Structure 1
Amino acid sequence: MDQLINLLAHGEEVIDVDEESFLLFAQDIASNNLGMLNPRAPTVEISINGNEYIIHQSPSLLSSHRAGGTTGAVLWKITPLFAEWVTNPSNPLWANALLSQTSTVVELGTGISALVALVLAPSVRHYIATDQEYVRKLFRTNLDANASISVSFSNSNNKAKGKSKGSKSSKSKSTSSPAKSVNNISFTTLDWETDQAASLKECMDPDDAHGQDGEEEGDEDKGFDLLLSCDCIYNEALVAPFVRTCAEICRLRPTYVAGSEEQSSRRKPTVCIIAQQQRSPDVFETWLRETMREFRVWRLSDDVLGEGLKSGSGYLIHLLLAKDK
């Protein structure tokens, strides 16, 4: 499992909750306010890797009193930064072949924007986005509105930024089919408190659900190569079900056991990437304490994260690997 070992070399393992929280929150942190990009606009334009995306939002839904929350009704600032980072070819997930064209990815709390799915899906086998049912309609609207965009890694060094309506973006070379950017994206509801993670692949095409690893080992692969979540940690009451869902999804694959001689012959463990905005140290500590019961945790280095997500940016990226039960 040299690929995974190489990936972990790009981070520092977190051993102590209090020490990690002090290290992160004692430094000067850029102010990102609540973290919403432009919550009053019905549409926003985002440029990522030389491609421009039109994202439809629902300001009225955001300000409503819908039971179960409405934070997914608009685009949050961290999402374009994360989308650009995760699709950069220098990202160690790609450089170490832990992400490839045969990968399956699942996202928790995708929100209405579909932005990470739109940017990442053309480069993987299948992408499953999950959230509450109220997200579905606008999620599909945003997939359809951006279906003609062909995504390429060739311009991945461009900065991701919000742009006013009417601005123009540079053209990029196309290496992916526009149709694939929509056709290999599935949306399904997933309630962290009541739903079973094991059923996620039921919304995929059977051939995709088996995947390359399943064909090699002769059994069905119910798991995923990458689990990601972007800015879903802001409410202490949701921390425990969120972490439990992450652990259930990651344990659909064998877990990572350091130094195991058997690891190389087993399916690769699911890599979990959690991106979040720095807000409340209390909420962060609650999340990290709960997470470290189920996962080993690494904080990725500034060299890997780049300017937009590095220390002091107001954003945090942690890599998780489920512990063996």
Structure 2
Amino acid sequence: MDQIINLLANEEVIDVDEESFLLFAQDIPSNNLGMINPRAPAVEISINGNEYTIHQSPSLLSSHRAGGTTGAVLWKITPLFAEWITNLSNPLWTNAILSHTSTVAELGTGISALVALVLASSVRHYIATDQEYVRKLFRTNLDANASVSVSSSDNKSRAKGKSKGFKSSKSKSSSTARPLDNISFTTLDWETDQAASLKECMDPDEAHGQYEEDKGEEDKGFDLLLSCDCVYNEALVAPFVRTCAEICRLRPAYVAGSDESRPRRSPTVCIIAQQQRSPDVFEAWLRETMREFRVWRLSDDVLGEGLKSGSGYLVHLLLVRDK
């Protein structure tokens, strides 16, 4: 997969201790816990010139709910990641790893629905997953931001990039709302649920929109698996990594030289974005991850200003290993 190799940029991560030392020996800005404003019932966020109102639940965050409450508010890394993932110069788009035919899954989406809101209009289907307590506010935020239009400048860029797989979008002058009917939410508990059934939440009618490359053997996998700031609790590292691996293995690995008469799908690319907090938790995550995946940390040239080295945030790309 030449396009994936071009995307990786940095050398492959081989040694856990070396990677951790390189990352945590540098000065890291204080982002506190990483929440934008945990006491506000709503926060205003601007992504690519578009304004979003994200409703939160401070009371739920401060509750003692079993299973955690971290998804009840918006975290600082999410808007930065949302801006990066939708940037037209992002190698995920320029190398056709993401396109209007892509299916995307997100782990630990939280209440904000922000990544789904900015990305779903440019892909075929977006499946957001989290625990059940997130569902109501997730839907509230989808509904509250359904009328947010793609900016005129973004439309021009997307029109130019249409040959690379972008959907055309309505301009800001149009009163037509952005389509959100290709966003699904489903519960997925990393410790108890099976990832194999994720695509069952998609609308069966979507089958009529299959593209030529999707004909033939059923594809139960995803083009892209995303996770934004879900690595913070060492007790959840193993089930989180296992869930990532199970989802990526829903799609067979790419085999060079396979029969050209059969459709060939690229392996699922997994992108993990996280805030730098505890080196111990990071090392536990990386050690567990490298058992299941090949790992690359994306370079500053790929990530840009908001997520580059020294920002206090990290973005790694994973490709699942053959069993």
TM over 0.5: yes
**2:6 equivalent in structure 1:** 6
What are structure 1's unaligned runs of at least 5 residues? Answer: 157-171
In 2, distance between residues paired with 1:90 and 1:120? 14
Task: Quote the Cα distance in structure 1 between the aligned partners of 2:172 and 2:122.
Answer: 14
SS in 2 for 1:81: helix
The 3-state SS of whatever aligns with 1:244 is helix
Give 2:141's aligned residue. Answer: 142
Q: Identify if the C-alpha distance between structure 1 residues 44 and 35 changes in structure 2 by more than 3 Å, giving closer, same or farther.
A: same
- Shift in Å at residue 193 of structure 1? 1.1
Q: CA–CA distance in 2 between the matches of 1:252 and 1:311?
A: 32
Distance 2:278 2:55 in 1: 29
CA distance in 1, matches of 2:76, 2:140: 20
Q: Distance in 1 between matches of 2:259 and 2:71?
A: 38
Mapped to 2, the partners of 1:196 and 1:78 lie a distance apart of 27
Q: CA 1:45–1:285 in 2, change beyond 3 Å: closer, same or farther? A: same
* Kept after mapping to 2: 8 A contact 1:256/1:323: no
Instruction: Return closer, same or farther for 1:82/1:293 CA change in 2, 3 Å cut-off.
Output: same
**Partners of 1:20 and 1:210 in 2: how far apart?**
46
Q: Secondary structure at the match of 2:75?
A: coil
Report the Cα distance in structure 1 between the residues aligned to 2:174 and 2:309, rounded to whole angstroms.
33
Q: Check if 1:122 corresponds to 2:121.
A: yes
Name the residue aligned to 2:271. 273
Q: CA RMSD in A?
A: 2.1
Deviation string, structure 1 residues 133-164 (Cα, Å, up to 9, x no partner)? 000000000000000012358359xxxxxxxx
Residue 11 of structure 2 aligns to a residue whose secondary structure is strand
Deviation at residue 204 of structure 1 after TM alignment: 0.4
CA distance in structure 2 between the aligned counterparts of 1:177 and 1:105, rounded to whole angstroms:
24
SS at match of 2:106: strand
Runs of 5+ in structure 2 lacking a partner?
A: 156-170
The one of 282, 287, 299 equivalent to 2:280 is 282
Query: How does the TM-score come out when normalised to structure 1?
Result: 0.89
Paired positions, count = 306
Deviation at 1:19, TM superposition (A): 0.3
Counterpart CA distance in 2 for 1:177 and 1:324 is 45
Give runs of aligned pairs for residues 195-234 of structure 1, distance below 5 A.
195-208=193-206, 212=210, 216-234=214-232
* Helix, strand or coil at the partner of 1:11: coil
Percentage identity across paired residues of the two chains: 86
Shift of 1:220: 1.1
SS in structure 2 at match of 1:13: coil
Q: Secondary structure at the match of 1:39?
A: coil
The residue type paired with residue 202 of structure 2 is: M
Contact 2:254 2:264 in 1 (8 A): no
Residues 73-92 of structure 1 correspond to what in structure 2 (within 5 A)?
73-92=72-91
> In 2, are the aligned partners of 1:126 and 1:208 still within 8 Å (CA)?
no
Which residue in 1 is equivalent to 2:240?
242
* In structure 2, C-alpha distance between the alignment counterparts of 1:83 and 1:13, rounded to whole Å: 25
Q: 1:22-61, aligned counterparts within 5 Å?
A: 22-61=21-60
Deviation of 1:12 (Å): 2.3
